[in-house]
C-alpha cells in the first residue's frame, strides 16, 4: 500500500538491502487483529534496545539506550527512529559492520499491545499510553515526548506505569533476560552463527 511505502522511504534510503540482510518491507503482512510489538536488542556502535509498535501498517520505532525498565520511577530515554516494515519484527541476525546499523540484532521481546489512548492523536500530542502483552514486558506503559532535542531528533521517555507488573529494580528486565525470545540464542551465539 502506498501509505506504508511512503512511511518506509527513510528506512529504505539508509540501507543497502543486498548487503544488510534486513527486509525491504515489500510485502504487506496480512496481519491478524492484534497489534504486534517487538523489542530488538541491537549491538551497534552503541548497544541499545529498539522498541517497536505496530501501527497503521508500519512499526513505529524508538531506540532505548538503557533498555526498558520495569521500575515506574525510572524514565528511559527513547529516541524516535524511522518507521520500520512490519516484517522487520522477525528479523534477527548480524548486519555487516560497514552497513547502516551494523552489528548483531536479537529479537529480545515480542507480543501484542493495546492502545489506551488514540495512537494518531498520541503521536501528535507526544503521549502514548498502552498495555503490553509480552513475554517479559507486561502491563501499562507510556511513551512521553520531551520538548527540545537536537534538530530533527525526537526525544521521548519510555516509562512503566505503576501496576502489579511494576518491579522496583530498575534493571531487572535487561539483567534477567539476555536471550532471544525467537531462537533462545545469546547475542554471541547469533553473531557466531552469522560469521559462518
CB-nearer residue toward Mn ion: 42 or 80: 42
Nearest distance from C-beta of residue 93 to Mn ion, angstroms: 13
Applying CB under 5 A, what is the total number of residues that bind Mn ion?
Answer: 2
Residue ranges in 128-187 that form contacts with Mn ion under rule CB under 5 A: none
**Residue, CB closest to Mn ion:** 42
Nearest distance from C-beta of residue 149 to Mn ion, angstroms: 18
CB-nearer residue toward Mn ion: 71 or 190: 190
Nearest distance from C-beta of residue 134 to Mn ion, angstroms: 18
- Cα–Cα distance list, 169 to 40, 74, 110 (Å): 21, 9, 22
Residue ranges in 21-60 that form contacts with Mn ion under rule CB under 5 A: 42, 50
CB-nearer residue toward Mn ion: 71 or 107: 107
| 8 Å CB contact between 83 and 6 | no
Q: What is the DSSP string of the chain?
A: -HHHHHHTHHHHHT--HHHH------SPP---SSEEEEEEEEESSSEEEEEEEEETTEEEEEEETT---S-TT-EEEEEEEEEEEGGGGG--EEE-TTSTT-EEEEEEEEEEEEESS-HHHHHHHTEEEEEEEESS-EEEEEEEEPS--STTPPEEEEEE-SSTT--S-TTHHHHH--S-TTT---HHHHHHHHH-
Nearest distance from C-beta of residue 103 to Mn ion, angstroms: 8
CB-nearer residue toward Mn ion: 36 or 41: 41
Nearest distance from C-beta of residue 63 to Mn ion, angstroms: 5
CB-nearer residue toward Mn ion: 40 or 160: 40
Nearest distance from C-beta of residue 175 to Mn ion, angstroms: 20
CB-nearer residue toward Mn ion: 39 or 71: 39
Residue 92 in the binding site for Mn ion (CB under 5 A): no
- Cα–Cα distance list, 100 to 12, 20, 58 (Å): 11, 8, 20
Residues that bind Mn ion (CB under 5 A): 42, 50
Amino acid at each position: 500500500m502506498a501509505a506504508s511505502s511512503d512511511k518506509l522511504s527513510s528506512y529504505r534510503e539508509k540501507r543497502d538491502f543486498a548487503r544488510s540482510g534486513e527486509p525491504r518491507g515489500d510485502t504487506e503482512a496480512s496481519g491478524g487483529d492484534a497489534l504486534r510489538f517487538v523489542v530488538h536488542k541491537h549491538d551497534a556502535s552503541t548497544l541499545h534496545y529498539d522498541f517497536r509498535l505496530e501501527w497503521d501498517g508500519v512499526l513505529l520505532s524508538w531506540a532505548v539506550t538503557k533498555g526498558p525498565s520495569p521500575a515506574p520511577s525510572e524514565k528511559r530515554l527513547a529516541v524516535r527512529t524511522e518507521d520500520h516494515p512490519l516484517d522487520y519484527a522477525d528479523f534477527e541476525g548480524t548486519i555487516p559492520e560497514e552497513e547502516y546499523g551494523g552489528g548483531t540484532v536479537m529479537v529480545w521481546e515480542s507480543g501484542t499491545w493495546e492502545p489506551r489512548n488514540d495512537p494518531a492523536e498520541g503521536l501528535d500530542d507526544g503521549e502514548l499510553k498502552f498495555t503490553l502483552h509480552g513475554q517479559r514486558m507486561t502491563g501499562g506503559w507510556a511513551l512521553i515526548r520531551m520538548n527540545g532535542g537536537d534538530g530533527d531528533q525526537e526525544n521521548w521517555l519510555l516509562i512503566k506505569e505503576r501496576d502489579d507488573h511494576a518491579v522496583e529494580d530498575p534493571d531487572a528486565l535487561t539483567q534477567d533476560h539476555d536471550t532471544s525470545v525467537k531462537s533462545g540464542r545469546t547475542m554471541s551465539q547469533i553473531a557466531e552463527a552469522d560469521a559462518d
